[in-house]
Structure 1
Amino acid sequence: MYSKLAFRNVMRSAKDYLVYMFTMAVVTALMYAFSSLFFDKEFTGLFEIAQMMQMMTGMATFFIVLIVAWLINYMVRFMLEKRSSEFGIYMLLGMKKKAIARLYMRENVLLGIFAFLAGVPAGILLQQVLMAVLGNMVHVEYRFHPTLNKYTFLVTLLFYAGCYLLALFRCKRKFKKMNIHDLMDAKRQNEEIKESNEGIKRLLFPVSIAVIVAIWTVFPGLSSVGAACIFLIALVLVIYLFYIGLSAWVMCYIRKKKKGIYRGQNLFLLRQFSSKVRTMQFTMGTLTALFTIALMGSSVAMMFSDYENKVLDTKWPFDVLIYSSDAEDEFQDDLEILNKDVEIADSYIYRIYTNQTNQANVWMYTHLQAFGNMYLDSDGRPNMKKIEKALKTDGTYCTYDTYMGLSDYNYLRKMLGYKEITLTDRQYAIQIKARLSSETDEMPEGLEVTDAGGNEELTCAGIYTEPFSQDGHNGGDYILIVPDSVIQTMKPYYSEMAVDLKGKAPAGLMKKLDDLVPEEEQDFAGHADLSLEGNSCSGSDNMVSYNATNLVRDNVIPEVKYMLASLIVPAFYMGLVFLCAALTVLSVQQLSDSAKYKFRYDVLAKIGLERSEINYLIARQLTAYYLCPALFAMIISGSVMIRVSRIFIMATGVHTSVLQYFGISVLLFFGIYMIYFMATYVGFKRNIEGKK
């Protein structure tokens, strides 16, 4: 009998909680699709860093499980409060509390099962889309073959069931402590509004806004973990205090009977909005935090996706580039491997030179925005002690300045399809990364490059910014180009070999080249690392940095894209789930309260409001309720992401607007937002009009 009653109750209430069931089905689909990455065999064997995707997805899943558990727990408690009178009547009719609790548990389990069964097929299709997108990102062909993976299914079921069981267990404990009076009074307590000290509380509204402005002024200066933690704690407190102040401010505005409350139906809307915010202060604060995380996660994903699309294909222009700290190396072993595995169109061995000065390095340390005032004294002069220590330890630049002969430089430019340059015996040139071009216009003024005899100073003939593999191979960030007569007077610093291939390089070519290097000289990914021997460096890239002894373009680009995908995919995953969870709470709250609002809107109809006016009033009520946490979250996340975007663009050299990443995230955000809003609006109207 209880099973039939539970099923009947589920079917009866499914209309009110359809948005919740839809969200749980979406969450199931997302969990299944992204959990499949733990058991991925398509890409795992292709990359040495494949475990990074599993690790980052696992971290994202951990936080998502917490949020989903919170959502389920919130909905279970919310439905219990809404049906508390019904359960109180059951007890008055003689039904035991244990039987009522079991009935309620069955109802929620049925809701969960329906959502799970609907989500798994969608998850299988979504998993195929996800794998196809990943394949396209890393230049690996992927063919659709939708199948139910038992391990992915079990992991999804474990996460999903764990969230449900935890929420139901907590609800069962609360249910056991309730009596008939508590059940009959629960709904009334939830609707009760206590007004006290409103005049004082309303001050929290402007104060919270002022505090937000104040803490953002110190945001760029957060240089320690402790400062960042204090900043986040202050921000969270301000979010919750904001809603206490907002509700009190609206209440005081109504009490003072300002003219604005008598325009149209403003009084009705303000009372509705104030009472709702008052009863949901903590929930509104939590939703704002979820929206903020969703927008920031999406913006971060947009940043790295844009970097991947605009920079990676030009970051390593040579098909193969091999470094050797031995200035006399002829690369015989490397050539032997290359001749076995690929067809070489052209190869060129050359040397990077030094005159054992570090004036260019000093200029870079003291003028680039990336270093700020780190290497300057209080009077603005270079702090040579710090610079010399950095040159020996941090590996950004070689110990001495790096030079290249004009003939070598022109040969490499020809290999890359660039136009050759010309220099007189009294000129030199600078080859530098494009992202630094706006900061290095005055670099020639800080350099003294002399001729072969060291007597006459050379003048700078130009600064060139074409992609030139300057992450430790052809210098770090820069290299000075001098006539061959000058380069012959300098000391060979290290050796390089550039190779142009016919066709694409095979997948494991770079690994074979790396195996020539002793294991102790390899990095965590198994690549031959540029050791810090004074004549090796990595450049000043700090947002996305990749430097290795052996670079094979067709191997490196897919691997780095896979590494970036390890950040992009979990960020979207978290943002989407957090957004859906928050929107579900907003929608279900309004739909469940529609019975209470039906009486109020019926009164408005009886005093003369037309149906079109009532529909417009409903839209305004829902818009205010929906936009309040969304706009507040946009202000917070936008303040952060616009600043972060500026730093990201400066550090990576991506040519885009600082507003682009956050702007795209907002468009995506409101696209999903409108789906939930329209579903709520249609359901709310239907309930108000009494339609079945």
Structure 2
Amino acid sequence: MFSKLAVKNVVRSVRDYSVYFITLLFGVCVFYVFNSMESQTVMGYLGGGTSPYVQTILMLIDVISVFVSVVLAFLILYANTFMIRRRKRELGTYLLLGMERGKVSILLFLETLCIGLLALAAGLLLGVFLSQFISVFTAGLFSIHMTEWHFVFSPKAVGKTCLYFGVIFVLVMMFNSLSVSRCRLLDLMQAERSNQDLKLKSVGASVVMFLVGVALLIIAYAMLLQRGLFRVDGLFWLMLGLGSLGTLLFFRSLSGFLLRVCQRNKKLYYRGLNMFILRQFNSKINTTYVSMTVICLMLLLAIGITATSLGLNNTVEGLSSGKSPYDVSVYFWPSEGGAPAELEQWLAAGGFDPEEELEERMVYETAQVEFEPVRYELGGREVPLSSLSALSLSDCNALLALQGLPPLELGEDEYGLLWGTYEADYSLVKALWEDQPTLSVAGTTLTPQPGAETSAIIRTGTSRYESMLILPDQFLEGRPADSVVLVGNYPAGADVQAADARLEEAMHSLVPRDYESGDGGYGYGWDTRLGVYMDTMGSKILVLFIGIYLGIIFLLTSAAVLALQQLSQAADNAGRYRILARLGVEESMRDRSIYVQIFLYFFLPLALAVVHSIVGMTAANAAIAEVGHVDSVSSSVATAAFILVVYGAYFLATCAGSRRIVRGR
């Protein structure tokens, strides 16, 4: 009998509290998806368990999952409180009919078990389906072209999900048993008759509270914009406290003056069911202003974390693309005996043939050029400059052509300048270029050509290189090279990972055998666009993953709490709406009153959270802008779309569920 009754109650609960069940389902789904990353196909392309980026991503997801499980546990316990409150009269009826409290607890245990197993199974099924796309998403973030894909199922993620949610549901079962054991029969039977006290504050006190709250928020905003987002000290926590208190006072003040202010506008107050709507809203906000404050702050976290993560990802992606104009760079710095002859044939002997691998390529040399010393005053002392590395004009223009940049022009007795990325020589070279001196090279006097200046990147990689002169070709003929560099790009659609692996294997096999490294031998290295991208983006991808993970959880939690509150309130107000129906109020007007109340509860916290997030994102973008351009527009649009879809779906589902509860269907 208990099993049949439990199943019947579960079916009814899932129907009446579909938002609760959907939240459980998506909580399980998101938890599985992010914890299944270790088994994703793309992780093999990223180096699997040997990659430090993969290891850090997986480690942080494990840590964040503990926090997420705590948040979801509070959400489920909070939602369960509303369900128990809604069913107190039903539970009292069971006791009145002679059912023992222990058996009522067993009934609730079976119901919770059924709902938990159903949500767990459905969530895992949806999670397994959605996790198939996370490899594609991750590969897109790292610009990886996957040549194969296979179905992914992670037993480890399933076990972790079952363990975490099993613990949560055990806590729910214990809470239900405790709730039943502590309630008196009279309290259970009269639960639906209990009303919340309507405590109206004077308009003056509410206005003062409102102004104090706004003042605290303005102070917190000013501190944030002036100090920045990432300066954590005592004032940082004071700023957070002022912002939180200001938010609390803002919502607390609504319960005092909103009704009174609207009452003074007779035309608005007596239009339709506005009087009923305002009194309902005012009576509830007396006890929900704390939860609305918490929801507002969680929405702030959801918006801020998601938008900042997307903006940071776009910024760093642009930075890494700027450092990597070529797919491949191989470079040598010989100290004796010159560079390896025929660099391309040498690489081909190791298994990486540039002619076959690269669609466009070039090999260039730089040489050290000496000239009569030019002296500058730097740091309080005189510093002579008598030599610089140089690049021929034809090689420089070939590099510019690979990057899609216009060529430079030089006369036979002119020189230009290519700016490097090594800061140590910047001041001296800057002084040289600003002074525009003539240089005596190999008995020829060269004059500067101001138009022959470029900051083009001469090789892929994060390693720095010095600024160098750009000279007519004849000045470098016959000079020993101080570096030899190969740069090139793969054909469109090439298997970049496999080609990079062949280059790495060739370098490892050739260099130790044919050349010495270190003192007296060759300095050498190689970089690839994908390698630089992963080095630059590795830690930043963590921010994106964790940001999206936490953003989804905070948004789901906020929307679910609001939805459950409104569904519970709709059940409490069902009797009042029946009275309105008997008084002749049209069904469309009753539905409109439901929608307006839900709209106020959903979008007041969201509106203030948007204001908070605009200030917070301004501070975050200012910090990010120190290292690059922030694409705040695209990140804001993507975040807004994400918020509107998820939050809007909960809003519509709550409206539909509340309307059905009020209508008694």
Shift of 1:572: 1.7
What's 2:138 paired with? Answer: 134
Post-superposition Cα deviations, 1:119-141, rounded to whole Å, max 9, x if no partner, equal 12111110101122223444232
- Segments of structure 1 that go 5 or more residues without pairing to the other structure are 363-383, 386-398, 434-442, 519-527, 529-535, 537-547
Alignment of 1:337-486 (within 5 A): 339-345=349-355, 346-351=362-367, 404-407=390-393, 408-414=395-401, 416=403, 418-424=405-411, 425=413, 428-429=416-417, 431=419, 447-453=434-440, 458=448, 460-461=450-451, 464=454, 466=456, 468-469=458-459, 473=463, 475=465, 479=467, 481-483=469-471
Q: Does 1:286 align with 2:302?
A: no
Pair 145,456 (structure 1): closer, same or farther in 2 beyond 3 Å = closer
Instruction: State the SS of the aligned residue for 1:225.
Output: coil
Pair 604,419 (structure 1): closer, same or farther in 2 beyond 3 Å = same
Structure 1 counterpart of 2:450, one-letter code: C
User: Partners in 1 of 2:503 and 2:245 — Cα distance?
Assistant: 51
**In the alignment, is the contact (CA less than 8 A) between 2:69 and 2:164 conserved in 1?**
yes
Shift of 1:665: 0.6
Shift of 1:17: 1.0
What's 1:440 paired with? Answer: none
Pair 689,472 (structure 1): closer, same or farther in 2 beyond 3 Å = closer
Pair 642,271 (structure 1): closer, same or farther in 2 beyond 3 Å = same
What's 2:308 paired with? Answer: 300
Alignment of 1:78-477 (within 5 A): 78-137=82-141, 138-141=143-146, 143=148, 145-146=150-151, 148-173=153-178, 175-180=180-185, 183=188, 191-195=196-200, 199-220=204-225, 221-222=227-228, 224-226=231-233, 227-253=235-261, 260-307=268-315, 312-322=320-330, 332=340, 339-345=349-355, 346-351=362-367, 404-407=390-393, 408-414=395-401, 416=403, 418-424=405-411, 425=413, 428-429=416-417, 431=419, 447-453=434-440, 458=448, 460-461=450-451, 464=454, 466=456, 468-469=458-459, 473=463, 475=465
What's 2:427 paired with? Answer: none
User: Partners in 2 of 1:283 and 1:6 — Cα distance?
Assistant: 31
**In the alignment, is the contact (CA less than 8 A) between 2:108 and 2:176 conserved in 1?**
no
User: Partners in 1 of 2:386 and 2:351 — Cα distance?
Assistant: 36
Shift of 1:586: 1.4
Shift of 1:680: 1.6
User: Partners in 2 of 1:350 and 1:598 — Cα distance?
Assistant: 84
User: Partners in 1 of 2:551 and 2:503 — Cα distance?
Assistant: 35
Post-superposition Cα deviations, 1:8-39, rounded to whole Å, max 9, x if no partner, equal 22222222211111121112122222211134
Instruction: State the SS of the aligned residue for 1:593.
Output: helix
Give the TM-score, by structure 1 length. Answer: 0.76
Pair 452,157 (structure 1): closer, same or farther in 2 beyond 3 Å = same
User: Partners in 2 of 1:358 and 1:203 — Cα distance?
Assistant: 69
Q: Which moved more, 1:296-305 or 1:250-259?
A: 250-259
Shift of 1:516: 9.2
Corresponding pairs, count: 617
Structure 2 counterpart of 1:340, one-letter code: G
- Of 532, 540, 545, which aligns to 1:569? 545
**In the alignment, is the contact (CA less than 8 A) between 2:366 and 2:391 conserved in 1?**
no
Pair 338,302 (structure 1): closer, same or farther in 2 beyond 3 Å = farther
Shift of 1:670: 0.7
User: Partners in 2 of 1:616 and 1:586 — Cα distance?
Assistant: 18
Instruction: State the SS of the aligned residue for 1:341.
Output: coil
What's 2:34 paired with? Answer: 34
Shift of 1:86: 3.1
Instruction: State the SS of the aligned residue for 2:308.
Output: helix
User: Partners in 2 of 1:106 and 1:618 — Cα distance?
Assistant: 33
Q: Does 1:500 align with 2:488?
A: yes
User: Partners in 2 of 1:50 and 1:601 — Cα distance?
Assistant: 56
Alignment of 1:671-690 (within 5 A): 671-690=645-664
Alignment of 1:552-563 (within 5 A): 552-557=528-533
**In the alignment, is the contact (CA less than 8 A) between 2:200 and 2:255 conserved in 1?**
no
Pair 343,492 (structure 1): closer, same or farther in 2 beyond 3 Å = closer
User: Partners in 2 of 1:648 and 1:329 — Cα distance?
Assistant: 46
- Of 647, 651, 664, which aligns to 2:627? 651
- Of 57, 62, 82, which aligns to 1:53? 57
User: Partners in 2 of 1:496 and 1:169 — Cα distance?
Assistant: 72
Post-superposition Cα deviations, 1:562-593, rounded to whole Å, max 9, x if no partner, equal 65443323322221222122211212222222
User: Partners in 1 of 2:284 and 2:374 — Cα distance?
Assistant: 70
**In the alignment, is the contact (CA less than 8 A) between 1:288 and 1:629 conserved in 2?**
yes
Post-superposition Cα deviations, 1:23-58, rounded to whole Å, max 9, x if no partner, equal 211121222222111344642463323212212322
Instruction: State the SS of the aligned residue for 1:652.
Output: coil
Pair 11,502 (structure 1): closer, same or farther in 2 beyond 3 Å = closer
**In the alignment, is the contact (CA less than 8 A) between 2:461 and 2:527 conserved in 1?**
no
User: Partners in 2 of 1:483 and 1:457 — Cα distance?
Assistant: 11
What's 1:71 paired with? Answer: 75
Pair 598,83 (structure 1): closer, same or farther in 2 beyond 3 Å = closer
Instruction: State the SS of the aligned residue for 1:43.
Output: helix
What's 1:8 paired with? Answer: 8
Give the TM-score, by structure 2 length. Answer: 0.79
User: Partners in 2 of 1:127 and 1:401 — Cα distance?
Assistant: 58
**In the alignment, is the contact (CA less than 8 A) between 2:212 and 2:249 conserved in 1?**
no
User: Partners in 2 of 1:487 and 1:570 — Cα distance?
Assistant: 55
Larger proportion of strand: 2
Shift of 1:636: 0.9
Shift of 1:316: 0.8
Q: Which has the larger radius of gyration?
A: 2
User: Partners in 2 of 1:687 and 1:311 — Cα distance?
Assistant: 54
Post-superposition Cα deviations, 1:332-381, rounded to whole Å, max 9, x if no partner, equal 49975664131124433325889999999x9xxxxxxxxxxxxxxxxxxx
**In the alignment, is the contact (CA less than 8 A) between 2:33 and 2:131 conserved in 1?**
yes
Structure 1 counterpart of 2:254, one-letter code: L
**In the alignment, is the contact (CA less than 8 A) between 1:513 and 1:550 conserved in 2?**
no
Pair 616,180 (structure 1): closer, same or farther in 2 beyond 3 Å = closer
Shift of 1:175: 4.7
What's 1:371 paired with? Answer: none
Pair 35,465 (structure 1): closer, same or farther in 2 beyond 3 Å = same
Shift of 1:596: 2.9
Structure 1 counterpart of 2:397, one-letter code: N
User: Partners in 2 of 1:147 and 1:472 — Cα distance?
Assistant: 35
User: Partners in 2 of 1:188 and 1:402 — Cα distance?
Assistant: 89
The CA RMSD over aligned residues, in Å, is 4.3
